[in-house]
Amino acid sequence: MARSDRILLLLQTLRQYRRPVRGEQLAEDLSVSLRTLYRDIATLRAQGADIRGEPGMGYQLKSGFLLPTMMFSEEELEALILGTRWVAARGDGDLAQAARAAVARISAVLPAPLRDQIEENQLLIGPAEQVDGLAGDLKRLREAVRREQTLQFSYLDLSGQKSARRVWPFALGYFDQVRVLVAWCETRNDFRHFRADRISDLLETGERYPRRKAALLSEWRARQQAGASNAAADSS
């Protein structure tokens, strides 16, 4: 196990104990020697962790300590890099630029060994297929979701029928070939999914819709789960 991973695991283990825990028990939990445990506790203390106790007395972590952002495990760092590379390759211009900037900012505060892992990371994202007609409106859709604002637009459905819609957008799904706006549709009085490339005449009303997006998302997810459960029951 990498040392950074071990430090994180020690921190998480200490948080599980509400009373002082002996070094021998911690060493057993982490499958390390007592000498390694003492060294890792010293490292955490040097980074500001308020760990009370001494050998033979037990150790206890006082609440409120957070590791600095530079302390990522190897798996966390790989997940972070893979995710940001996907966004950089498939997000709209502003989102792709933000992903690249985020990696650069994180890399700047990492210690040299972890920074080298970013530069040498071998998890790659395949070429993105061109998705036409999205770049201009995706940023506006994201902002409307973030601000919980009502949108109006024309929508062309799969049968070629065009209709005017007024919606409460609360999520935006990113797929390889399409982007899908998830919203409560005032026109249909129900949840609806809208392909971004079929939206036209987009108008930002500047009006905040009457419900919170978290509540809408929760209700939508419950509907999706119920639908999946019913489909599974029908097929059994």
Residue 2 DSSP class: -
Contacts of 30 (CB under 8 A, 6+ apart): 6, 9, 10, 13, 37
Q: Which of 45, 82, 85, 38 is nearest to 65 (CA)?
A: 45
Taking domain 3-61, whether its CATH number is 1.10.10.10 is answered by yes
Cβ within 8 Å of residue 114, ≥6 positions away: 4, 70, 72, 77
Domain range annotation of the chain: 3-61, 74-120, 135-235
pLDDT bracket for residue 236 (50, 70, 90): very low
Q: What is the pLDDT of residue 129?
A: 67
Q: Nearest 5 degrees, angle CA 123-CA 125-CA 129? A: 175
Q: Is the pLDDT of residue 133 over 60?
A: no
Residue 55: predicted pLDDT: 86
Q: Residue 146 half-sphere exposure, CB side, CA atoms within 13 Å?
A: 6
Residue 96 has pLDDT above 90, yes or no: no
pLDDT tens sequence across 202-229: 999 999 999 999 999 999 999 999 887 6
**pLDDT top residue among 157 and 103:** 157
Mean residue pLDDT across the chain: 84
Which residues, 6 or more positions from 138, have their beta carbon under 8 angstroms from its beta carbon?
A: 92, 95, 172, 179, 196
- Residue 229: its pLDDT value, please? 67
Residue-wise pLDDT for 11-51, tens only, equals 888 888 888 999 999 999 999 999 999 999 998 888 778 88
Rounded to a whole number of angstroms, the CA Rg of the chain reads 25
Q: What is the pLDDT of residue 15?
A: 84
Average pLDDT of the segment spanning 96-102 = 86
Find the mean pLDDT for residues 77-82: 85
**Rounded CA gap, 117 and 95, in Å?**
24
pTM over 0.75: no
